[in-house]
Amino acid sequence: MTVTDQALAARTRAKPRPKPQGVTHVVERGQTLFRISQAYGVAVAALAEANQLKPSSPLKIGQRLFVPGAKAVKKVEPYRPLTTDERASLEESLRVPMTKPPPPLPVPPPPRPHVKTDAEFQWPLVGPINSPFGPRWGKFHAGIDIGSPHYQEVAAAADGEVIYAHDTAGPLGKAVVLQHGRGMRSVYAHLSVVIAHEGDTVRQGQAIGGVGDTGRTTGPHLHFEVRKNGAPLNPEDYLPATIDELVRDLTTSSR
């Protein structure tokens, strides 16, 4: 090899990868992966991948976690289970169907997202909407019903914390409720099986149960709700538009 070849080889030799940017967070009592992700504004999946963890992995006091992209260590609120009164209030809201529409939002919902990356939530499963949000049979349907066969996997619509995973002993049957940021919650009901556990951190897209017909139903489907500070919202306002909707919009705009 000539001197020129050696010099060229030295210049083209792979450079060492730059050290990833971020901070080290030392876990304190009661802190969970979800609470840490919320404090730093980092997705649970990114935090878990950076530390080779499963989202539901219990953290240990003193454990050091690398938070990618963070510039400073932040305060993290510890997890706490629902109080007796909070749990009773939540269970009542799951058992008793609404008879009147919820009060209007002080701030209108954002424009309907067109693609997944624009949406706050993702669809918990793929299927037709058999019953939309709104008045139904003289009452108010506080969510949407998504048609699906038995045992189809139901996924978390967003990163969250499992605050309820139980049989409601009411019309919604077996249900899971996730707590998200900014007072947002999501509800998944009529489940055949619940695989999430209260206190777990779940990432967006992670399986939490299976479609069923528990409770009062006319067949297997998923009842899905989005709530903010306890008030039900139209889930479709927070989910990406479906292919059918996009095609319909394009057809309408081209006329």
Angle at 90 between CA 103 and CA 189, to 5 degrees: 90
CATH 2.70.70.10 maps onto the chain at 84-250
The mean pLDDT of 100-128, rounded to a whole number, is 82
**CA trace torsion 197, 201, 203, 209 (10° rounding):** 10
CATH 3.10.350.10 maps onto the chain at 17-80
The two tokens of residue 71 are: 């510039």
Please tell me the distance from the alpha carbon of residue 232 to that of residue 144, in angstroms, as a whole number: 11
Residue 156 has pLDDT above 60, yes or no: yes
For 32, counting Cβ atoms within 10 Å of its Cβ (0-12 exposed, 13-18 middle, 19+ buried), the class is: buried
12 Cβ contact list (under 8 Å, min separation 6)? none
CB-based contact 40:74 (threshold 8 Å)? yes
Please tell me the distance from the alpha carbon of residue 160 to that of residue 215, in angstroms, as a whole number: 25
Residue 14 has pLDDT above 60, yes or no: no
Please tell me the distance from the alpha carbon of residue 138 to that of residue 59, in angstroms, as a whole number: 48
Closest Cα partner for 38 from 163, 203, 181? 181
Torsion region of 62: left, alpha or beta (phi above 0 gives left; psi -120 to 50 gives alpha): left
**CA trace torsion 42, 46, 48, 52 (10° rounding):** -140
Residue 2 has pLDDT above 90, yes or no: no
The mean pLDDT of 132-161, rounded to a whole number, is 93
Predicted pLDDT at 119: 79
pTM: 0.86
Residue 147 has pLDDT above 80, yes or no: yes
Residue 251 has pLDDT above 60, yes or no: no
Please tell me the distance from the alpha carbon of residue 51 to that of residue 109, in angstroms, as a whole number: 35
Task: List Cα–Cα distances, 122 to 13, 115, 194, 220, 239, in angstroms.
Answer: 43, 10, 19, 21, 6
**How confident is the prediction for the chain on average, in pLDDT?**
88
Question: pLDDT tier at 175 (50, 70, 90 boundaries)?
Answer: very high
Please tell me the distance from the alpha carbon of residue 46 to that of residue 27, in angstroms, as a whole number: 17
Residue with tokens 């002080």: 106
Which fold does the domain 84-250 belong to in CATH? Glucose Permease (Domain IIA) (2.70.70)
* Chain segment 31-63, per-residue pLDDT in tens: 999 999 999 999 999 999 999 998 888 899 999
Please tell me the distance from the alpha carbon of residue 163 to that of residue 227, in angstroms, as a whole number: 14
Closest Cα partner for 238 from 126, 111, 133? 111
Which fold does the domain 17-80 belong to in CATH? Membrane-bound Lytic Murein Transglycosylase D; Chain A (3.10.350)
List, in sequence order, the alpha helices (H) in the chain.
3-12, 33-40, 44-50, 84-95, 243-253
Q: How far, in whole angstroms, is CA 232 from its chain's centroid?
A: 16
